[in-house]
A and B are shown apart, each in its own frame.
Chain A
């Protein structure tokens, strides 16, 4: 609406400028919380006495995590035969689990890095927890390639270090590219996560009353004092790390997809695999972000910081990437027919109607159908529905990797070699244990480290803007 000063008295019908009306933006922190409230809310979680539910979850997840420990120990002592791998399926659950966990990690880096470059300020409530999720997911993922080599005491041969045989790694192999990609990804994620935490650790240090906390947070905060000269360098480093992590999100899962794409197997040897895997990774990762963030929000009453707007944005990204994955399924199928390669065509008919059809249809319903529910506002606004869809996404994405790996191997070029892959009890429990390990690490993170980047949250509130005249 124009105001009285803008109307030209001689030509009242003509305005000097036509400005669009200002639409109010949804607040990122609801109920106009003060900086001090935000500090108290997040630091309170770290500083208060450990709640009983935390101890119960810690014991349960610790018990589940022991399955992985026992499974791996049994594997090392007895041999790779305790897994279900046997001809023709020489890659089974280990690689499926590896790709599953690495994919989950990518959402954390997308939230931290890509949304930072895109100036999406809503990322500030979830980026710390999402990055922690990435680091713990990469740790779970790394277990599988490490142990699947059998003689893990030689795993250092994967790195370009001098050894007694005088031989170096084969840099042509995507498996070697994986070593570099995943190591780089783990390292850069840890650096970015830690650097982002320094100002918040300084706040915890300054509020600490017990000696061990003062020393612990004091050491980690490296003397941060909030100096603007420091913030200037810090912001530049943050932006640079975000800019470096962005190509990592895209390249790491691309390199993981190369494990399959460079092989000449039907169903694997397609150029759609890199973008398809990256979209799938982000999709599965956002499913895990929702699985973590919704309970956290409910337990710690974080509704003012992780608002419905945040949940909406996460759901929309999940919908977008889920649609990309659905599109990729259709295109793969189309190209298999259009390319007129009989083996490729067979591979896809076999996925849908062969011995693993049950896995294929679980995958389709979980990945293609369930995220489409997020078109509906009523679904997005109901945390229980969103949580259920997120669980389906997690399940569906595991099955996607299973379908890709196992169907192309089990029903390969020579029908005489066909066999039905069954996981052993060791396969199953080792995998279930990784969920326990992941959750255990996440619980420790919640207990000792600031679960949200509250310095960043403060910076995106309206009262942090020096040009804002309202406060």
Chain B
């Protein structure tokens, strides 16, 4: 398949190697690139210059919705629609309904965190050009790779390749789309 490759791939053997390499790619100014590892490397987010994850927003939204929904539900069902007489106690009280509201908050916050992870990661995504790399199945085992995409403004086939070699990358190959 002729044409522009998706990007350049470089292989690394240890977490320390790829950590330092990532810092150099970040400092070189690349924006459309990524590090692939079999486990999350401590400090890699800063090494790549990534901002804080947005999953917290989804989690908070879920939690607040759960809280309000729980309260609304209990009020509507035990006070408004069919006031339930229990020993002449108030029809609605935030105290007796607290366990319900608490569980609803946690439930919807958990959905927020879970689906927020999928949304922010654009998953499921069963195909990605990174999977075309011949050693891709080692990435989920014990090797680390950096991919710099050709759509990055600073991408240049020769310069990017030499940067990857400088920072210690091995087996630098062009990745097909």
Contact = CB atoms under 8 A, between A and B. Distances in A.
Interface string B139-156: 111100000000000000
Contacts of A188: 106-107, 110
A195 B114 contact: yes
A35 B140 CA distance: 10
A168 B106 contact: no
Interface residues of B, number: 70
Interface string A180-220: 11011001100110010001001101110000000000100
Nearest to B123: A222
Interface string A231-244: 11111110011001
A79 interface: no
B122 to A, nearest CB: 9
A245 B113 CA distance: 12
Contacts of B22: 228
B102 A251 contact: yes
A467 B124 contact: no
B142 A39 contact: yes
Contacts of A202: 140
A171 B77 contact: yes
B37 A226 contact: yes
Contacts of A207: 137, 141
A226 B86 CA distance: 55
Interface in B101-130: 102-104, 106-107, 109-111, 113-114, 116-118, 120-121, 123-128, 130
A36 interface: yes
Contact of B140 (A160, A166, A206, A218): A206
B38 interface: yes
Contacts of B50: 228-229, 232
A230 interface: yes
A463 B117 CA distance: 27
A34 interface: yes
B31 to A, nearest CB: 12
Contacts of B18: 466
A468 B36 CA distance: 20
A328 to B, nearest CB: 22
B10 interface: no
A248 to B, nearest CB: 6
A180 B37 CA distance: 39
A268 to B, nearest CB: 18
Contacts of B54: 233
A251 B120 contact: no
Which residue, of A166, A205, A225, A244, has the highest number of chain B Cβ atoms within 10 A? Answer: A225
Contacts of B59: 237, 240, 244
Contact of A228 (B45, B123, B128): B45
A87 interface: no
Which residue, of B15, B20, B139, has the highest number of chain A Cβ atoms within 10 A? Answer: B15
Given A176-B100, A227-B36, A251-B102, A166 B124 contact: no
Interface of A: 34-36, 39, 160, 166-172, 174, 176-177, 180-181, 183-184, 187-188, 191-192, 195, 199, 202-203, 205-207, 218, 222-237, 240-241, 244-245, 247-248, 251, 255, 258, 455-456, 458-459, 463-469, 471
10 contacts: A169-B77, A177-B100, A199-B140, A224-B123, A228-B44, A231-B39, A241-B110, A244-B106, A247-B106, A467-B19
* Closest 3 A/B residue pairs (Cβ): A466-B19, A35-B142, A168-B77
